[in-house]
Structure 1
């Protein structure tokens, strides 16, 4: 039997999920405007090709399922709150961590967040480069600074206590274009977006990451973190996965209650933040069913706002 052609495609798990390709009218309009590709079939071919390159770099499920096309950030309940910060706060900084191809950053800018106040970060710099390919841009036409780095490397992002009005950040706001690590942003970020990110880790590392991101946040009231990732009605090891991480640890899923308790009382002093967290049930393809064969899963959509 030939190992090429249609037979090979049928045995390719990535190709098998090409049926997950979907955009609603808003997403389609956005992608056409960003790429300049009006023909929908040509646009689909272009997106599928970039997705295959991205999956070869690291096989994240969100790439396999085309989740990067779903306008995740703009559909979170607190999105308009984030946009208001960009319009109303002088020199507001917006950080998208775990940005992948930069889809959400581009949507926020398209919706009015000032380009010069945005910065993105990811472990894999190749994803940012593929973002330029996906959106047919260049560093000159889309001059948002990008920082490659590991969020668990203290030289890049070190956990620290959140700054407060009585303990403001000691250094002035940095020039985003000159940064080499996120640590220089401590106490200066007005909004942080982290979607499809926390759920990649066990509970201990999620807690570490929460402390690290909190240290970046400005002490000004209204400064916020926002995101969405896999959650569960009852906190515990993720039931939608049948595998461990490569390092042997098990991925953890928070419930709305455990997520609120983490931020309000552990990361930030109790009563100094407002945490909003809701579960949205989603249907997963049968190929991605959990260990019990259940295709039901939950997204935890959340925001943490300083009071």
Structure 2
């Protein structure tokens, strides 16, 4: 994924999306809120028990992140909710239990959190039992990965998971290969030695791509799908899943969220399913499930799409 481009006319480019505002909004702390489940998670992870102290800590990290890239997701605190502007994240997807089972039952199962921002999904999966040493969290902005350690009051030395910065459109970091047909378990790999995702072709048991694909145009979405498919293990039950902007008929979608206006390309459930089952993977070799969820946004009909692709 390409890094951000920020212009003087209050436009921010994230992937292929141009966010436009009358002026770059200042940080608004009124957007801060945590559900009881989120508060429990962050308190357990940071060791901060007091609500006000936790809020102060998160606000400090948010301010640093907003200086790196003034994205809407940082402005409205959705980086706490795994990069979506709803409180839906990997742990709320129906396949999450299956992913955790892979971590428990499949020898040396690997989980990739791609476009991870602060890697909240990765850390939540680790807290819920997926071996942290087998989790890779990757984002194009290394600053976000560094701030993840600050947010969770850890260091690279104290957290066993792998944080790997890189651009998914750089073949030196992630090249496209045909989906693997080798169902034999792969030998263990030392993730601390990784410089790119390419050594993981055909080895990853689960890939989380929440709020990632909709950052790109139609051609690039197909590119990323093929690239991630090449990473996925051929063993039955291996999963790619996500949550992104969807639509009834594929095409451009426009919306205004928290003062940020944007247009992006979105697939429909039908075109998204046919992309994976028949174009990326051989027809009939995967099970694709999709669900459109309508979001209340003034003056427009707006949908998010939950989805999963499971190898058969």
In the other structure, the counterpart of 1:279 is 292
Higher helix share: 1
Shift in Å, 1:173:
5.0
CA contact (8 A) 1:145 1:176 kept: yes
Structure 1 segments (4+ residues) deviating >6 Å: none
Shift in Å, 1:159:
1.4
Structure 1 or 2, whichever has the larger Rg, is 1
In the other structure, the counterpart of 2:32 is 21
The 1-side partners of 2:233 and 2:114 are apart by 16
Instruction: Mark the CA change 1:158 to 1:173 in structure 2 (over 3 Å): closer, same or farther.
Output: farther
Q: Which runs of 5+ in 1 are unaligned?
A: 1-10, 245-249
Higher strand share: 2
The 2-side partners of 1:25 and 1:243 are apart by 31
The 2-side partners of 1:14 and 1:274 are apart by 44
Secondary structure of the structure 1 residue equivalent to 2:203: coil
CA contact (8 A) 1:199 1:230 kept: yes
Which of 176, 179, 187 is the matching residue for 2:202? 187
Which of 178, 185, 191 is the matching residue for 1:161? 178
In the other structure, the counterpart of 1:8 is none
In the other structure, the counterpart of 1:261 is 274
Asked if 1:114 corresponds to 2:126, the answer is no
Which of 122, 126, 147 is the matching residue for 1:130? 147
Secondary structure of the structure 1 residue equivalent to 2:255: coil
In the other structure, the counterpart of 2:249 is 234
In the other structure, the counterpart of 1:38 is 49
CA contact (8 A) 2:207 2:240 kept: yes
Instruction: Mark the CA change 1:59 to 1:32 in structure 2 (over 3 Å): closer, same or farther.
Output: same
In the other structure, the counterpart of 1:5 is none
Equivalences for residues 1-307 of structure 1 within 5 A: 13-16=25-28, 18-70=29-81, 72-165=89-182, 173-240=188-255, 251-284=264-297, 293-294=299-300, 297-307=302-312
> C-alpha deviations, 1:96-122, integer Å up to 9, x for none?
111111111110011110112111111
CA contact (8 A) 1:96 1:105 kept: yes
Shift in Å, 1:38:
1.5
Q: TM-score, normalised by structure 2?
A: 0.84
Secondary structure of the structure 1 residue equivalent to 2:94: coil
The 1-side partners of 2:192 and 2:27 are apart by 38
The 2-side partners of 1:67 and 1:157 are apart by 27
CA contact (8 A) 1:174 1:184 kept: no
Instruction: Mark the CA change 1:42 to 1:108 in structure 2 (over 3 Å): closer, same or farther.
Output: same
Question: Number of residue pairs matched?
Answer: 281
CA contact (8 A) 1:193 1:225 kept: yes
The 2-side partners of 1:121 and 1:70 are apart by 17
Which structure ranks higher in relative contact order (CA pairs < 8 Å, sequence separation ≥ 6)?
2
